[in-house]
Structure formats: structure tokens, C-alpha cells
């Protein structure tokens, strides 16, 4: 039987001749990246555990979360990384370069068949060139830096085949929003997705990057797009060598095959709160306060060119701020040479230096309480891009909406901009309290918190405004601080408590703090119907007990109940003398890391 793309890449980077879904293998990593927000923690792990750097030539820092130097804590972390880099001959792509994953492609460090890891939950964007990229927490990255390899569980593969003719107005962003409309955020949870069909073959590199960048929002491990001849030529020109691309075998086995008619795809927006909560362009006016074009999803030259074309000869609506952030400095320079920067500034846009922008809370793009933003970003979780509401859309929709003052399409921009109503909103913040870690035995008993929700993301668990915190004792105060209805969790939780919740818990960012905040409080375990893939790794590596129970919410357990959980057998007992049922016990790897009290 043949192999899929992911199976081939994992086998070629391990000691195995072949792998299949579920196999856990040590995978050699070609490019090992730490960003500015996670880099300081990686350095702390390396120094604290007395680790060495396996290969400095394959090890990099990318400072893309706060490339403006506007935050003292970020600045301190960046400088800490610079000093470490000098001491160990590690290359730094500093605040003048742009988004790390894009730099890997531009610099020829990632191409078909290669592997890369980063403290960036969208490192799987590298699937755009047929490379395997993964976002990881700081412990994983430190291990990769010191060993040159890291363990992976081989994911199942899904094959999506597109048929039909792509509508003229359907952009790459619309394609991935249509996928989110069909599959949601957890139908393809944990899959490696491969895309096929004539519409895929004709995608440009920029379009492939847009689609691949939202694999995380689909819950997938990665979206791998087999490189076209054009993409292969580009990668070879950047890597300055001949590339032997990796394609799946004709007889490769897929756990899931979907066939989609792309001619039925339409223009969509994601409603505030969830990328997969999509809607057609609203007929009624949804007024905006700001618009954002950029992020790793839509900060490419074609995105900026589309915006400039729509804005040429027009002005951004009064009271609306349009913020544009190119993905890399090369894109910024190209936009300048093409005259796009001048056209955008004449229209009233604010153009910042290259980087992640508001998505990472370190640059232009954040919004305030009550502010409504339309954004080309990949996430609109509550609080992710500020305290306001964020709609997600393609660059043409964002540019048109910036001119009109409300969400609309380029063909419906009015000749005269109407007056808009004035609205206001308020926000409430919860109390904060720090608790200590406790030891965790193989069997625990604790009080239950039942949170019957799916897709609880890392911004709900531990908001990105606290990412500069590196002291575990301080993290607990912010647990669930951005989750509506649970803002006081940190003050009400007790050591030994157990959280029971739904699907895809911990989706979103790669931040380790979303695990460590529970350790800080002394929470003894989380049982969920499923976990986000990066969150699962971070919890296992931190020796924090997580267990999967697909029917966990179907049992007679209420908030305040007491249960006993055995990690070896997966047995759950409702006390006193209540129901007994099973969840998935620790795997061999999880148990080994747990008994070692962590990855190191």
C-alpha cells in the first residue's frame, strides 16, 4: 500500500521505512524556530535544564509578534533572545523582517518534503509549499533545539478533491471560509488534509498560503497542497538547489475522502467569535470602526494590490481606520516599488512595518471595547484581536468595507457614504488570584467543573495580553479570564478540581500558558471529548493530566460532583458509589513523560 504526503515526510525524517496513522515516531526537524513571545521561555528551558543546541545552522529566532518594540516585556524577551543567539551562533530574523513562517519560504528554508517547528500555531502554513510545519509550545521547541528531533503521532490523512469552475469573485480566503462552513472547527480535527483537483492546481503561492494558514482553524494538523510547477520553481530559486518534491502515491490510503464542487462556493464572512461561524455578506448594514488587511493569512503582495485597486481614487470612510501590515519586509518593499504604498496612504490607510500585527497583540490591529473590526486575519476569538468584535473576510471585502463604512462588496460601494449611528459597549474584567502547583498521583479524586462547550480556544483560556508572563505562579490568576461566564474561575477553583468539557478544547494558539495556568491553580486534570492538537502536546509535555472521553458529557456528572479518575486504566468513578465508566487512559508516551514529571 502506498503512502500519503504526511506519511512519506514523517518516514523520511525518522528511522522508519514507513509509518501509518497512530504511529509515534521521532521526527528530525529541518528548521527549528522560536518567536519573540515564546523565545524567552525556550531560552529559559535550555538554560534551566542545561541543554545544548543540536545544530545552530538549523535553529532560528523570528521576532514577528511585536516588531514595533512597543511593549517593554516583549522588548526584554527579544533582547534576552538576541543575547542567547550571539552566545550560540543562532540566526535572528529580527523585528525588521516580518512573519517567521513566511520568511522560511522566502529564504528557502522550507519547501516540499522538509519539516519545521515554531512557537507559532500557524506554522502549518508551510503546507502551502508541501512542507510539514507544526506549532508547538516552548518545551517542545527547546527539546527540538537540543535533540534535533521531536516525537509526533502520525495523523490520519483526509483527501479533499475540488471539481467545477471557481467563481470569479471567490478568493482564496473565501475558499477556506467555505471549508469552515462545511466542516466546522472539529470535523477534521487531527487530520492531515491534502487538496486536489484542477482548481487547486491553478492556485498561486499567495493563495496557497492563505488556505494553508487556516488549517488550525479547521482543527487540522496541516493542509498539504502538492506543489505545482510554478511553486516548485519558486522554491528552488529560494533554496538555490534542485528539489525532489514529495507527492502521495496513487494507492495511498486516506481515512476520509471528500469531493466538493467549488462552483457552489460563495463570498463569506466569519461572524465575531468563531472563524467557522460563517455567513453570506450581510444585506443589512453592519457598521465598522476599523478594518485590517494583513496577518500570515492575507499579508501577501496580491492582497495589498487588491486593496490598492479598490481604494484608488477613493477615501477611507470618516471615522474608520484602515490598518495594513505586509507579511514580510520583501512584500513591503515590493508594494513600495509598485506604487501601492502611495496609493493606500492617499486613500487614508495606515501602513505599518511587516509583522503579525493585531493577531499577536503586539502591533497595529488591536481594537478597543465596543469597536467593530473587519479583518483578513485567521482568528476572531473573543479578545484575540482586542476587546471589540471582529469579522473575518477577504481583502477585497475589507477594502470595500473600509470605504463604505459598513461591511459590503466592491461592487456595492455607494457613491455617497451615509452617516452612521453611534453605539457603545462596556466590558467586565474578573478578579485575579494566584495559586500553587500540587503533585499529581496516578489516581486522583476531585470536585468537577462541567463546562459543556466545544471549541474553547486558548484566548479564552489564557488571553494573549498575558503572554509575556513566564513565572508559572502568576499564570493561574488568568485562567479562563477571557471566557464569558467563567471569568471568576481562578478565584473559585480549588486545588484538585477537575474540568470536564467538550470537543476541541484548547484550539488556537500554541501558548504553553494555556496549560500552565491550570497547573498554577492546582487543577488536577481536564477530561474533554477531544483536544486541540497543539494543546494536547503541551499538556502531555508539561505532565499535566488530560484524558479523552468522547461521551464524557453524556454521564450524570454535574458541576460540584466528586469523581475519581485512574490515569492507567482510564476508569472514572462518580462518588460516592455512583456510575463507573471509562475514558481513554494515558498512552505509553504520555505515561512516560508524566512519570518523569515533564518532557525534561
Rounded mean pLDDT of 15-44? 94
User: ω into residue 128 within 30 of 0, thus cis?
Assistant: no
306 and 333: one domain?
yes
545 closest CA partner among 461, 438, 472: 438
Q: What is the pLDDT of residue 432?
A: 34
Q: Is residue 429 in some structural domain?
A: no
> What is the CATH classification number for the domain harbouring 514?
3.20.19.10
What pairing do the DSSP bridges indicate for beta strands 268-270 and 278-280?
Answer: antiparallel
CA distance linking residue 120 with residue 106, whole number of Å: 17
Q: Which residue has the cell 508547538?
A: 136
Decide if pLDDT at 22 tops 70.
yes
**Longest CA–CA separation in the chain, Å:** 74
Q: What is the pLDDT of residue 469?
A: 87
Residue that finishes a domain, picked among 241, 264, 287? 264
CA distance linking residue 394 with residue 406, whole number of Å: 15
Reported as a pLDDT band with limits 50, 70 and 90, residue 180 is very high
Residue that finishes a domain, picked among 396, 412, 428? 412
Record the cell numbers describing residue 360, joined without a space.
Answer: 499577536
286 and 382: one domain?
yes
Q: Is residue 45 in some structural domain?
A: yes
What pairing do the DSSP bridges indicate for beta strands 443-451 and 498-501?
Answer: parallel
Encode pLDDT of 107-163 as tens digits.
999 999 999 999 988 999 999 999 999 999 999 999 999 999 999 999 999 999 999
508 and 381: one domain?
no
CA distance linking residue 12 with residue 19, whole number of Å: 10
Q: Is residue 430 in some structural domain?
A: no
222 and 113: one domain?
yes
Can you give the three-state secondary structure of 236-255, one letter per residue? HHHHCCCCCCCCCCCCECCC
Q: What is the pLDDT of residue 439?
A: 55
Q: What is the pLDDT of residue 600?
A: 86
Q: Measured on CA atoms in the order 71, 137, 60, 292, is the torsion positive or negative?
A: negative
What pairing do the DSSP bridges indicate for beta strands 546-548 and 525-528?
Answer: parallel
CA distance linking residue 208 with residue 200, whole number of Å: 8
Reported as a pLDDT band with limits 50, 70 and 90, residue 422 is low
Mean pLDDT is lowest, of 69-73, 310-314, 510-514, for 69-73
Q: What is the pLDDT of residue 389?
A: 92
Record the cell numbers describing residue 505, joined without a space.
Answer: 478544547
Angle between helices 513-521 and 533-541 (to 10 degrees): 50
Reported as a pLDDT band with limits 50, 70 and 90, residue 425 is very low
342 and 483: one domain?
no
Q: What is the pLDDT of residue 437?
A: 36
349 and 288: one domain?
yes
Residues whose CB is less than 8 angstroms from the CB of residue 147 and which lie 6 or more positions away in sequence, other chains included: 54
282: DSSP letter: P
Contact 235, 111 (CB under 8 A): yes
317: DSSP letter: P
Rounded mean pLDDT of 486-502? 96
Decide if pLDDT at 427 tops 60.
no
173 closest CA partner among 267, 55, 291: 267
322 and 203: one domain?
no
69 and 205: one domain?
yes
Q: Is residue 583 in some structural domain?
A: yes
324 closest CA partner among 332, 313, 333: 332
105 and 234: one domain?
yes
Mean pLDDT is lowest, of 342-356, 412-426, 428-442, for 428-442
Q: Measured on CA atoms in the order 93, 97, 100, 102, is the torsion positive or negative?
A: negative
Q: Is residue 333 in some structural domain?
A: yes
Q: Give the number of domains in the chain.
A: 3
Rounded mean pLDDT of 209-222? 95
Q: What is the pLDDT of residue 430?
A: 41
Contact 162, 200 (CB under 8 A): yes
How far out from the chain centre does Cα 6 lie? Answer: 19
Q: Is residue 536 in some structural domain?
A: yes
Encode pLDDT of 245-278 as tens digits.
999 999 999 999 999 999 999 999 999 989 999 9
Q: Is residue 480 in some structural domain?
A: yes
Q: Is residue 108 in some structural domain?
A: yes
Record the cell numbers describing residue 351, joined without a space.
Answer: 501602513
Identify the domain containing residue 237 by its residue range.
Answer: 5-264
Hey, which residues does 27 pair with through a beta bridge?
150
Reported as a pLDDT band with limits 50, 70 and 90, residue 361 is low
CA distance linking residue 127 with residue 123, whole number of Å: 9
Encode pLDDT of 193-215 as tens digits.
999 999 999 999 999 999 999 99
CA distance linking residue 68 with residue 191, whole number of Å: 36
187 and 323: one domain?
no
Q: What is the mean pLDDT of the chain?
A: 92
For the whole model, what pTM was predicted? Answer: 0.85
Query: What is the number of other CB atoms lying within 10 angstroms of the CB of residue 149?
Result: 19
Alpha helices in 59-202 (DSSP H): 72-88, 100-106, 138-147, 172-183, 198-201
214 and 307: one domain?
no
> What is the CATH classification number for the domain harbouring 380?
3.30.499.10
| Three-state secondary structure call for residue 504 | coil
Residue that finishes a domain, picked among 264, 281, 313? 264
245 and 279: one domain?
no
Encode pLDDT of 57-74 as tens digits.
999 999 888 787 677 788
Encode pLDDT of 542-597 as tens digits.
999 999 999 999 998 999 999 999 999 999 999 988 899 999 999 999 999 999 98
Record the cell numbers describing residue 228, joined without a space.
Answer: 505545482
Amino acid at each position: 500500500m502506498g503512502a500519503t504526503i504526511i506519511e512519506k515526510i514523517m518516514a523520511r525524517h525518522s528511522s522508519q521505512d514507513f509509518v501509518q496513522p497512530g504511529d509515534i515516531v521521532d521526527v528530525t526537524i529541518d528548521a527549528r524556530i522560536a518567536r519573540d513571545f515564546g523565545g524567552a521561555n525556550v531560552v529559559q528551558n535550555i538554560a534551566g535544564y542545561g541543554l545544548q543546541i543540536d545544530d545552530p545552522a538549523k535553529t532560528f529566532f523570528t521576532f514577528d509578534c511585536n516588531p514595533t518594540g512597543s511593549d517593554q516585556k516583549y522588548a526584554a524577551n527579544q533582547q534576552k533572545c538576541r543575547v542567547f543567539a550571539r552566545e550560540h551562533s543562532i540566526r535572528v530574523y529580527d523585528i525588521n523582517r516580518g512573519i517567521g513562517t513566511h520568511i522560511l519560504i522566502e529564504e528557502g528554508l522550507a519547501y516540499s518534503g522538509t519539516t519545521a517547528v515554531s512557537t507559532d500555531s500557524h506554522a502549518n502554513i508551510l503546507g502551502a509549499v508541501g512542507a510539514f510545519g507544526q506549532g508547538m509550545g516552548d518545551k517542545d521547541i527547546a527539546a527540538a533545539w537540543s535533540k534535533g528531533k521531536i516525537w509526533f503521532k502520525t495523523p490520519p490523512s483526509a483527501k479533499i478533491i475540488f471539481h467545477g469552475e471557481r467563481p470569479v469573485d471567490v478568493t482564496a480566503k473565501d475558499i477556506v471560509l467555505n471549508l469552515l462552513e462545511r466542516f466546522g472547527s472539529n470535523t477534521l480535527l487531527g487530520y492531515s488534509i491534502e487538496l486536489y483537483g484542477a482548481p487547486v492546481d491553478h492556485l498561486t503561492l499567495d493563495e496557497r498560503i492563505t488556505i494553508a494558514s487556516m488549517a488550525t482553524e479547521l482543527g487540522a494538523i496541516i493542509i498539504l497542497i502538492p506543489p505545482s510547477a510554478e511553486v516548485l520553481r519558486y522554491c528552488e530559486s529560494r533554496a538555490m538547489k534542485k528539489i525532489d518534491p514529495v507527492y502521495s502515491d496513487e494507492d495511498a490510503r486516506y481515512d476520509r475522502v471528500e469531493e466538493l464542487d467549488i462552483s457552489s462556493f460563495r463570498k463569506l464572512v466569519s461572524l465575531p467569535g468563531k472563524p467557522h461561524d460563517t455567513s453570506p455578506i450581510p444585506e443589512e448594514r453592519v457598521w465598522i470602526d476599523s478594518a485590517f488587511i494583513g496577518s500570515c493569512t492575507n499579508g501577501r503582495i496580491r492582497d495589498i494590490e487588491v486593496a490598492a485597486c479598490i481604494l484608488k481614487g477613493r477615501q477611507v470612510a470618516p471615522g474608520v481606520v484602515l490598518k495594513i501590515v505586509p507579511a514580510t519586509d520583501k512584500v513591503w518593499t515590493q508594494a513600495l516599488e509598485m506604487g501601492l504604498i502611495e496609493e493606500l496612504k492617499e486613500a487614508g490607510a495606515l501602513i505599518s512595518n511587516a509583522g503579525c500585527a493585531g493577531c499577536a497583540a503586539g502591533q497595529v490591529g488591536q481594537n478597543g471595547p465596543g469597536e467593530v473590526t473587519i479583518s483578513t486575519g485567521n482568528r476572531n476569538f473573543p479578545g484575540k484581536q482586542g476587546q471589540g468584535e471582529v469579522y473575518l473576510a477577504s481583502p477585497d471585502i475589507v477594502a470595500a468595507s473600509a470605504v463604505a463604512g459598513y461591511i459590503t462588496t466592491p461592487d456595492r460601494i455607494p457613491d455617497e457614504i451615509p452617516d452612521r449611528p453611534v453605539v457603545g459597549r462596556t466590558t467586565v474584567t474578573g478578579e485575579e488570584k494566584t495559586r500553587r502547583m500540587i503533585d499529581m498521583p496516578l489516581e486522583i479524586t476531585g470536585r468537577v467543573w462541567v463546562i459543556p462547550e466545544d471549541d474553547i480556544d486558548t484566548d479564552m483560556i489564557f488571553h494573549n495580553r498575558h503572554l509575556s508572563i513566564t513565572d508559572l505562579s502568576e499564570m493561574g490568576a488568568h485562567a479562563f479570564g477571557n471566557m464569558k461566564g467563567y471569568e471568576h474561575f481562578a478565584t473559585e477553583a480549588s486545588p484538585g478540581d477537575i474540568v470536564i468539557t467538550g470537543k476541541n478544547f484548547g484550539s488556537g494558539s500554541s501558548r504553553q500558558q494555556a496549560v500552565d495556568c491550570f497547573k498554577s491553580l492546582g487543577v488536577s486534570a481536564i477530561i474533554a471529548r477531544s483536544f486541540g492538537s497543539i494543546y494536547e502536546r503541551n499538556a502531555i509535555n508539561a505532565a499535566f493530566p488530560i484524558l479523552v472521553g468522547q461521551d464524557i458529557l453524556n454521564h450524570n456528572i454535574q458541576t460540584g460532583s466528586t469523581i475519581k479518575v485512574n490515569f492507567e486504566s482510564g476508569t472514572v468513578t462518580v462518588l460516592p458509589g455512583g456510575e463507573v465508566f471509562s475514558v481513554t487512559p494515558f498512552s505509553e508516551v504520555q505515561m512516560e513523560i508524566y512519570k518523569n514529571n515533564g518532557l525534561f
